[in-house]
């Protein structure tokens, strides 16, 4: 089945550690996105990528980094520079930047 | 700040009634809008979309209305069912990015 997969579903890390969240899609989509969602809030854009080996900062990129070495993969690293990393992280993909985005099931990151 | 917002954070609806969820956007250059449904602990699911050259679009039990004059978007759900209980987000596309509002939590009463 085609889809977008995020792993793991739950992730716990100690404060000060970097952590990488996985996002893989087999939809052959060019565009991929990372969003952050806090309780009772909407989604805020962290990074997005229109094509392999290219990505742009979203609205809240500070403390995060990404790579896009393969079309199907867009991992997100939450660095120790992110002051409040505990959140629900959502990855999405779309055929292009102005089309419907399909979302993964999310990774809930808790930093203790 | 956010360019997309919903008028009401919560909506309680009797099962079988119609639901109307509203959304205001601020960027007049936005050309594409989507409604998503998010259930607890899951990623958002696509419901319906509409482009700025349209005023209305219908799907199965859902209708989206776009009023570009007042920059307003609405989602109508016909014959609301218990499975419709979720958080609903509108999203607008501008500058090649999808921006989301805070969402409306819909609760369906039996």
Closest chain A residue to the Cα of B97, Cα to Cα: A97
The pLDDT of residue A2 is above 80: no
User: Are the CB atoms for A104 and A38 separated by under 8 Å?
Assistant: no
Scored b (16 or more CB within 10 A) or e, A23-45 reads bbbeeebbbbbbbbbeeeebbbb
Q: In terms of Cα–Cα distance, which of A55, A56, A90 is closest to A69?
A: A55
Q: What is the pLDDT of residues A35-66, one digit of tens each?
A: 999 988 889 999 999 999 999 999 999 999 99
**pLDDT value of position B67:** 95
Tell if the CB–CB gap between B102 and A98 is shorter than 8 Å: no
- Residue B78 burial (CB count, 10 A): 14
SS3 at position A49: strand
Q: CB-based contact (8 Å) between B40 and chain A?
A: no
pLDDT per residue as tens, chain B (110 positions): 334 555 678 999 999 999 999 999 888 889 899 999 999 989 999 999 999 999 999 999 999 999 999 999 999 999 999 999 999 999 998 777 788 888 999 999 99
Is residue A79 predicted with pLDDT exceeding 70? Answer: yes
Looking at beta carbons, which residues of chain B come within 8 Å of A90? 43-44
pLDDT score, position B27: 87
Question: Could you tell me the sign of the dihedral formed by the alpha carbons of B66, B71, B77, B82, in that order?
Answer: positive
pLDDT at A96: 81
Residues of chain B with Cβ-Cβ distance to A47 below 8 Å are none
Asked if B39 has any chain A CB less than 8 Å from its own CB, the reply is no
């Amino acid at each position: 089945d085609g889809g977008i997969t995020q792993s793991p579903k739950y992730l716990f890390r100690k404060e000060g550690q970097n952590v990488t969240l996985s996002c893989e899609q087999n939809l052959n989509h060019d565009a991929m996105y990372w969003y952050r969602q806090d309780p009772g809030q909407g989604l805020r854009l962290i990074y997005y990528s229109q094509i392999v080996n290219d990505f742009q900062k979203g609205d809240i990129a500070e403390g995060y980094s990404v790579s896009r070495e393969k079309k199907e993969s867009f991992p997100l690293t939450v660095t120790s520079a992110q002051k409040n990393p505990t959140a629900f992280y959502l990855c999405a993909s779309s055929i292009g930047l102005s089309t419907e985005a399909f979302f993964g099931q999310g990774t809930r990151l808790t930093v203790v | 700040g956010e360019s997309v917002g919903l008028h009401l954070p919560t909506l309680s609806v009797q099962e079988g009634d119609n639901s109307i969820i509203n959304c205001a956007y601020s960027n007049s250059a936005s050309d594409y809008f989507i409604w998503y449904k998010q259930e607890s602990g899951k990623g958002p699911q696509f419901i319906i979309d509409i482009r700025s050259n349209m005023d209305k679009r219908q799907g199965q039990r859902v209708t989206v209305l776009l009023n570009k004059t007042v920059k307003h978007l609405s989602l109508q759900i016909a014959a609301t069912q218990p499975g419709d209980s979720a958080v609903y987000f509108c999203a607008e596309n501008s500058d090649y990015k999808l921006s989301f509002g805070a969402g409306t939590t819909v609760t369906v009463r039996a």
